[in-house]
Amino acid sequence: MSKLKKQSNKSAAKGSIRIIAGQHRGRKLPVLMADGLRPTTDRVKETVFNWLMPYIQDATCLDCFAGSGGLGFEALSRGAKSVTFIELNKAAAQQLKDNRALLKADNVDVLSTNAINFLQQNQQAYSLVFIDPPFRKGLAQQAADAISPQGLTENALIYVEMENDNNNQVMPSHWQLLKEKVAGQVIYRLYQNNSI
């Protein structure tokens, strides 16, 4: 009995995410179970990518606070042109690189750096940005404030996931709210850039 418990604890510590649809459908990718890492659930991911379906083909994606890479790898599987992952945790960033190699994805970049600093300095325009930071640190607001106009294409989409009890954060005035949903303790929203 204790042997079984030990094994299940060991496998729980490893973790994995599943790609829901597209080229890599059903593929499971190993995930580092680090502090603050909170992969988006399949249920939420399915809803989000239903929202994004008309826009995902050939999108240039930026996955801030990438963690497990669940959002970025799902976008890649569904036809995104490229994905840039930003992940501060070096071990989590290495896992993203390992998963990139598993998928043989040469259109994926992994940068182990601070997402806020990256957003403030970035000059490349992305058409789809995922902001899904660790909770209780005010990072969703900071990230939204840090994105420069040069960092978004015209009509770029921005997905923001945050804790439901802290949903009074004010997103930039030129972001139009398209969709919003609550799942348990999580609120998630899709915005469109209207700054141009």
Strands 175-183 and 186-193: what pairing?
antiparallel
Rounded to whole angstroms, the Cα distance separating 122 from 58 reads 20
pLDDT for 10 equals 39
CB 133 within 8 A of CB 105: no
pLDDT on residue 152: 95
Write out the residue range of the structural domain in which residue 105 sits.
Answer: 2-193
> How much is the pLDDT for 128?
98
Residue-wise pLDDT tens for the chain (196 aa)?
A: 434 433 333 333 568 889 999 999 999 998 877 666 667 778 889 999 999 999 999 999 999 999 999 999 999 999 999 999 999 999 999 999 999 999 999 999 999 999 999 999 998 999 999 999 988 888 999 999 999 888 999 999 999 998 887 667 788 999 999 999 998 888 999 999 986 5
Residue environment code for 29-45, b if the CB has 16+ CB neighbours within 10 A, otherwise e: bebbebeebbbbeeebb
Q: Report pTM.
A: 0.88
Q: Which residues contact 41 (CB under 8 A, 6 or more apart)?
A: 183
- Contact (CB, 8 A) for 58 and 79: yes
Q: Which two tokens stand for residue 109?
A: 């970049």
Task: Give CA–CA dist 57/66, Å, rounded.
Answer: 20
CATH number at residue 113: 3.40.50.150
Q: What is the dihedral of CA 50, 173, 117, 69, to 10 degrees?
A: -10
Which runs of consecutive H residues, i.e. helices, occur in the chain?
A: 2-14, 42-52, 70-77, 90-102, 115-121, 139-146
The DSSP call for residue 151 is: G
Q: Say how many domains are in the chain.
A: 1
Find where tokens 């179970």 sit.
33
Q: Say if CB 60 and CB 76 are below 8 A apart.
A: no
Q: What's residue 108's pLDDT?
A: 97
| pLDDT value of residue 38 | 67
